[in-house]
Amino acid sequence: MAFLRDLKRTLAMLIAGVSGLIVLLDFAGSGVVVAFVAQTLVRWAALITALALLIGVVSVAASHMQRIRRRRSDWGYSLVLLAGMLLVIVFGIFFPLPGSTGIVLPSSLAEQPIRTLFNVVYVPLSSSLLALLAFFSLSAAIRALGRRSAEAAMIVIVAVVVLVAQLPTISALPGVGTTIQWVSDYVALAGARGLLIGAAIGALVASVRVLLGFDLPYLDR
């Protein structure tokens, strides 16, 4: 038979399809046995994901250490990456939560020591990068106007109108604030919901294709 010619492909399709179907049935409430099997599969998946993440971290660290040792181009960025990785690990392990004794591994990135490190280091860096977006946006607007297309001009005009309308002196004018609020509540929100619905439908179609075996991203190509 055709499906027996590629046994690896067939077994992968069966495992993925049956596992996904069991987890979906658990969401629908199909009994104690199905719930137990689904929870076991989810725990296995979480364990495999954690191991894959650990292997990935070790692989990335080894690759950047080799780059630093050989003094390749931009090896300083590799040094910064390894320092940041080590700093997060040290903060998470050797700075436990208040009231705990000994070394306590963090259960998530929301733990207090790691969150403090993110607030001190990551938040200022992200704010600086966001501030640079203004210059990138200005450069993109100039390039768009340089192409002399109606679509680009319309996008730039709308962006300028929105930015100007956000100014305190402009938004305080009669009718401007309510108009901006109406556009935000109806026009912008409708577009955002349309994007979310489209993304959800796309994810649903992709999941069904994986369960039915039309797409096999988990196989080696």
Of 53, 72, 91, the residue at which a domain comes to its end is 72
Q: Which two tokens stand for residue 108?
A: 């998530």
Rounded to whole angstroms, how far apart are CA atoms 59 and 153? 47
Distances in Å between the Cα of 219 and the Cα atoms of 13, 31, 122 are 9, 32, 36
Instruction: Give the residue numbers spanning the domain of 184.
Output: 174-203
Rounded to whole angstroms, how far apart are CA atoms 116 and 122? 10
What is the predicted pLDDT for the residue at 55? 93
Rounded to whole angstroms, how far apart are CA atoms 76 and 173? 52
Q: Which helix (H) or strand (E) holds 91?
A: helix 75-94
What is the predicted pLDDT for the residue at 6? 67
Average pLDDT over all residues of the chain: 80
- Intervals of the chain under pLDDT 50: none
Domain contains 38: yes
Domain contains 123: no
List the beta strands (DSSP E) in the chain: none
Give the other-Cβ count within 10 Å of 4's Cβ.
7
What is the predicted pLDDT for the residue at 140? 80
Domain contains 217: no
Domain contains 42: yes
Q: Give φ, ψ of 160 to 5 degrees.
A: -65, -40
Rounded to whole angstroms, how far apart are CA atoms 104 and 95? 8
Residue 17 near residue 212 (C-beta atoms within 8 A): yes
What is the predicted pLDDT for the residue at 208? 83
Domain count, the chain: 2
Of 72, 94, 121, the residue at which a domain comes to its end is 72
Q: What angle do CA 41, 45, 51 make, to 5 degrees?
A: 145
Domain contains 6: no
Estimate the share of the chain in helix, then strand, then coil, as percent rounded to the nearest 5: 80, 0, 20
Q: Which two tokens stand for residue 205?
A: 């179609």
Domain contains 133: no
Domain contains 60: yes
Specify the pTM: 0.59
What is the predicted pLDDT for the residue at 170? 76
Domain contains 147: no
